[in-house]
Amino acid sequence: MKYLEVKFCITDNQGQNIDDEMLLQAAKDILCDFAGNAGFESFEDVMSTVTGYVQTQNFNKEVLDECLNNFPIDDIQITYNVEDAEDKNWNAAWEEQGFKPILIENKCIIHDKNNVPQLVEDENLLNITIDTEQAFGTGNHETTYMIINELFNTELKDKLFLDCGCGTGILSIVASKLGAKAVTAYDIDEWSVRNTTHNCTLNNVENVSVLLGDSNVLKDIKDKYDVITANINRNILLADMHMFKQKMSAGAVLILSGFYTSDTEILVEKAKSFKLTLIDNNSKNDWCMLKFKNLD
């Protein structure tokens, strides 16, 4: 898939750098939130600039310009430049170096093959090996961390589990290890589909079916799921909520993350429109997780 690389420059109205670090950070946070409304998926934050990445077909310039024209902080000027993102493996350095082992609430240890901690010998910890191949989701990011932690508080034994936007497959693997009867995972990124399949093999997980595509792949699946996770940006969550609802069994649980705490209200209201009741929530460094139950 083709991406655009958009470089945002944040200055005062005279085009000068902003010395107030708290003001600059607030402007960056709001900018990323607004850009999410225009289809952006990820961001890099360096000094007074923010670089955003958006799939070419998802870029909504009109929405972006309207948001920036109505930016809520006075004396802030934001300009941007759009270029085609270079088609390469953006995670090459990450893949080569690996990542520092991640301990999740003394319940789960996540590591790669090159950084195996002594904690893997602890029989009380769920031990997960992840090779990252240009896919999001090792547990290092707040959203993945929160969902994994919540899976330990969710009944998964003999349940049907759906992983929407599977990335590395970490959520599917954890669910399987916690007793899920069968797991369906999907992602729009070919790298992610291959990486999820690879990581399932690494962890001796055999009950995960991985599909390539967006939520439309679920239309041909007759199963109803007991637990659904979706770690995706706000706009996709809003657009796909109806599909999540259709695929939920009676009493099923839906766990959402991938968005800021400021997006909570709109997601809760959307879920309410489908008779999904909020039963839990959590936040970490301005990222949020919401847990709903299907009471139909």
Would you state the structure tokens that stand for residue 23, as one six-digit string?
A: 């003001």
Spans of the chain, pLDDT less than 70:
1, 86-99, 115, 117-118, 120, 132-140
- pLDDT on residue 123: 78
227 with 253: CB under 8 angstroms? yes
Percent of the residues in the chain that have a pLDDT greater than 70, as a whole number: 90
Q: What is the pLDDT of residues 54-112, one digit of tens each?
A: 888 888 899 899 989 888 888 889 999 999 876 655 445 445 555 678 888 889 998 88
Helix locations, 108-185, DSSP H: 142-151, 170-177
Element (H, E) at 255: strand 248-260
Would you state the structure tokens that stand for residue 148, as one six-digit string?
A: 């994994």
254 with 283: CB under 8 angstroms? no
CA 29, distance to chain mean position in Å, is 17
Domain spanning 3-84: CATH 3.30.70.100? yes
Strands (E), 25-100: 42-46, 49-55, 76-84
- pLDDT on residue 135: 42
| Of 228, 209, 219, 257, residue with least CA distance to 163 | 228
Starting at the edge strand that comes first in sequence, how are the strands of the sheet with 160-164 ordered? 208-212, 182-187, 160-164, 225-231, 248-260, 287-294, 276-284
pTM, to two decimals: 0.74
- pLDDT on residue 164: 97
Q: Where in the chain is the domain with CATH 3.30.70.100?
A: 3-84
Q: What is the pLDDT of residues 143-168, one digit of tens each?
A: 899 999 999 999 999 999 999 999 88
43 with 51: CB under 8 angstroms? yes
The architecture in CATH of the region 98-294 reads 3-Layer(aba) Sandwich (3.40)
Q: Where in the chain is the domain with CATH 3.40.50.150?
A: 98-294
| Of 143, 140, 135, 142, residue with least CA distance to 166 | 135
